[in-house]
């Protein structure tokens, strides 16, 4: 794992956006795996700026989102499709048909087939080149709550109470937070060629330390990233504050810089 520690949220976001932009310039038809939540918003803002000011071209980029609340239609203000349109897609020149967010309105009797199809579409697009990830306070990546199989695939899941509480800040009350979601599985995520995990703030410090430096366990599904050969973790100082090997990560990045071989 390449762990990059930045001074604050803004620097974390800029570092992440640069990695995405470098990939798009290198491979204009790349496939991005995207995430919602508060954490990637700064990265999306920086990508929009790069599009507007530097001509970063999304015309051939294909995207697949990690998850969607089950039961929310795409035009619901708290749906992840709506989030992506508002925070990224409508501000850049991506083709709407190249953007994929799981459909939260699929009838329950068709959901397994729909989830299989979502996975097939990822494969048909050539697989995900770079998967952006946040981490929940219970250690989840996407909506893979504690106990999810580390080989899990795209499926319908029940949301943990902690997650519903954390996400209730976006809803009028916790009762409005959906109880289920469609999510890529841990196994699906691990198939991306590169995974990039972002975390910011003290509230994430403990779970970040467990995910990166603790044992691999289905109780913290982000820890499965330790099994992936190509992972970039970008943290701000606050989210990195409980890492035991923080000095080593800082030293590694500095040393690679001195050697003239960028770490990412
Ligand atoms: P956050 O959510 O970015 O809003 O903290 C992360 C997550 O739950 O995966």
Tell me what pLDDT residue 262 has. Answer: 82
Q: What is the helix (H) or strand (E) element at residue 182, kind and residue range?
A: strand 180-183
Query: 132 CB under 6 A from ligand 1?
Result: no
- Domains of the chain (ranges, CATH numbers): 2-259 (3.40.50.1360)
Q: Which residues contact 241 (CB under 8 A, 6 or more apart)?
A: 202, 205
Model pLDDT, residue 263: 84
Q: How far is the CA of 39 from the centre of ligand 1 (A)?
A: 6
Positions in the chain short of pLDDT 50 = none
3-state secondary structure 199-254: ECCHHHHHHHHHHHHCCCECCEHHHHHHHCCCEEEEEEHHHHCCCCCHHHHHHHHH
Ligand 1, residue 135: give the atom nearest the CA: 9
pTM assigned to the model: 0.97
- Which sequence positions are flagged as catalytic? 67, 138, 140, 145
Q: How far apart are the first and last CA of the chain?
A: 11
Please work out whether the CB of residue 134 comes within 6 Å of at least one atom of ligand 1.
yes
pLDDT digits (tens, 9 = 90+) for 16-58: 999 999 999 999 999 999 999 999 999 999 999 999 999 999 9
CA 224 – CA 240 distance, rounded (Å): 18
| Residue 38 Cβ < 6 Å to ligand 1 | yes
């Amino acid at each position: 794992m390449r762990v990059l520690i930045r001074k604050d949220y803004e620097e974390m976001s800029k570092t992440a956006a640069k990695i995405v932009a470098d990939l798009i310039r290198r491979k204009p038809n790349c496939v991005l795996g995207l995430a919602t939540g508060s954490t990637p918003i700064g990265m999306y803002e920086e990508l929009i700026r790069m599009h507007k000011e530097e001509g970063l071209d999304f015309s051939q980029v294909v995207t697949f989102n990690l998850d969607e609340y089950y039961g929310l239609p795409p035009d619901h203000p708290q749906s992840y499709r709506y989030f992506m349109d508002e925070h990224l897609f409508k501000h850049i020149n991506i083709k709407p048909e190249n953007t994929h967010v799981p459909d939260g309105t699929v009838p329950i009797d068709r959901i397994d087939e729909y989830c299989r199809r979502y996975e097939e579409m990822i494969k048909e697009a050539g697989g995900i080149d770079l998967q952006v990830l946040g981490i929940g306070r219970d250690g989840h990546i996407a909506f893979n709550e504690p106990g999810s199989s580390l080989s899990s695939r795209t499926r319908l899941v029940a949301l943990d109470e902690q997650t519903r509480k954390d996400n209730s800040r976006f809803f009028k009350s916790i009762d409005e937070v959906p109880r289920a979601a469609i999510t890529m599985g841990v196994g699906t995520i691990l198939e991306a060629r590169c995974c990039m995990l972002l975390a910011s703030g003290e509230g994430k410090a403990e779970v970040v330390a467990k995910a990166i430096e603790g044992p691999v366990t289905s109780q913290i599904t982000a820890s499965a990233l330790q099994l992936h050969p190509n992972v970039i973790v970008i943290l701000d100082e606050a989210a990195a504050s409980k890492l035991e090997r923080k000095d080593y990560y800082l030293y590694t990045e500095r040393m690679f810089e001195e050697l003239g071989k960028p770490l990412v």
